[in-house]
Structure 1
Amino acid sequence: MLLTVVPLVPVLAITTVAAHFQSGHHPLDFLGYAWLVLATLPLLFSRRFPLPAFVVVAALTWTYYLSDYPGGPAVVLPTVALFTLTRLRGPLQAGIAGTVMILAGLGAYLAMGGDFLLDGRAAFFLVWLSAVLGIGTAVRNRVAANRAARDSAAEHQRRMAELERLRIAREVHDVVAHSLAMINVQAGVAAHVADRRPEQAVEALLAIKEASASALADLRATVTVLRSGQGLGPAPSLRQLDELVEHTRAAGIGVRVHGSPGELPAPVDAAAYRILQESLTNVVRHANQPTNVTIHLGRKGGRLRLTVRDNGRGAVEPKAGNGLRGMGERAAALGGEVTAHPVAEGFEVSAELPIEGER
């Protein structure tokens, strides 16, 4: 509605005033006003039908100028229509339509005995067409750039939300899976020896109680941090290696540790801890009758190397699950990699994580 009212009011007002200073023209009567109003109405549909709207507006405006009514700023009307056509359909379609309408109007003017070459109207329409096309194209490009920027920002937000979802999933999985694996093993032990060795069953139940309390505390802390949006709290670290080893030993599996990681940057330290934790969890949950696990830690070529090998029987190629996927994502986020595959006597997980600043 504004696209119609805004140009119509000044066109009618200025044309009315200009009519008092122009002689030799037909007075601006009801038909003249109706003509200008009719030439404006197609602007109501210019957003949905920009080309037909421009053609109708331009045709009515040309015929008004070729009539005996006084002149005025009615050229504003096709200007608005051409600008809208340029912005919505592009400069090529608008340029062709504008050129055709100008040539048609000038042809009719010449047929009525006019001489546009002498009064400069051809130059005026050429400048007018170029200016409207230029401004319309600039606005069109600006709108397209803004839309692309908004789409890019929205895509970035979606990507960040997806990464955050994956991060939360990894955190919850890593916090809970290890303790639940230990609980499962100890529950199996307790059920197996409850009748024959009740004292060992009591030890297993106490281990279950300790592991479940630890899991609940870790899960509660993780959820609290995620709700607060203030990071992940104290990051896991290989300084807690002894705790992981003891949990695995409590499941009846011997653990030997060779080497030391030394001081590590926090992201590398946390990722290495989670990879080691998941590797030991997988040994407890999936290995077939393992009796021992060997952990190798060391640095070479500016990279932390972590290897976890068990002696479970009949190891096969693993299926991609949340655990292996999470380990790979953590390593890839730092520019490292994780491999997991069966070996001659068991299964091995190997991780290499680059240490920033080392060569």
Structure 2
Amino acid sequence: MEREIDTQTSPETAGPAHGNPAALARWLLAVAAVIVVMVIVGGITRLTESGLSITEWKPVTGAIPPLNEAQWQAEFDAYKQIGEYQQVSGPAGMTLADYKFIYFWEWFHRLLGRFIGLIYALPLAWYWVRGAIPAGYKPRLLALLALGALQGTFGWYMVRSGLSAEMTDVSHFWLSIHLLTALFTLAGLIWTALDLRRLAQIPGARPARFTGLALIVSLILFIQLLLGAWVAGLNAGLASDSWPLMQGRIIPEFDQSKGLFWAATHDPYLLHFLHRWWAWIAVAALIVLARRVRAFDRRASIAIHSAFGTQIILGIATVWTGVALWVAVAHQGVGALLVAATAWGAHLIGRKA
């Protein structure tokens, strides 16, 4: 029998259902859908090199963009002080109109983050006051709120890592933390929504357990997502426009002068290689999960297969097209959907009535 990791920490959740779990489930799934959109917009922001266009973090007043030419010029002048402008966009001849384009994507990305905070925090307060939250779920819902706050904080640390005369981009480590926190939050929202939906259907149903198989698949997928974030942060997708070979060989030449560990975390050629081939290990793990899930809900099995199949095709297409914007954005968006499908499948095999 498969060993299971019990995430049950409160005996309250074993009691009879109360509150309005069905409504909470619909709300959490709606927030999860907006986070998928957020991940897509974040991909556009990254691929258009827009992430450093706003050099300050103003959580409240920053929601209002420049309203006149003087304000636009002041923002542009602040952008001119950082390395990205001085070494990349400035020498390329960036105009104020060009700057307005990249400003829009970073501003919209931050605005969407604020919007997610509102559509989570305000309904949470409403359901809390109305007594609609089932016993045992308040700590989990608060934890998801805290993850959202961390996501915004990590986003600013990511931006700040690139705001110097020496840097021309953000730290790929901070980028990975920012992205993976978003995906972890997405998975948490879906898992909690599924628990609540099941509670609405079966009063007294216990939350799903996180099984050993779910842990293994999640760790393998986590490594693939981490590698993908580092590839994005280092522009390593441009290391090769051919597949399956790189530089006419399976294993490309890469910088080993600082050791293999440094190369595996910094060298774009090695990271590109690792990301494209670890993907097949992830596929094997996901196939195992999908086959196990099929006995519970065939739709979830189809969702997992469809997500990783589309993701593989888009990954190869991203390489072949030289990281064409919309192909690469689709690759990141389907990655978020793959996380959602995996969370669904893991939840199914962990259910206990």
TM-score, normalization by structure 1: 0.28
TM-score, normalization by structure 2: 0.28
| Max Rg structure | 1
Q: Larger % of strand: which?
A: 1
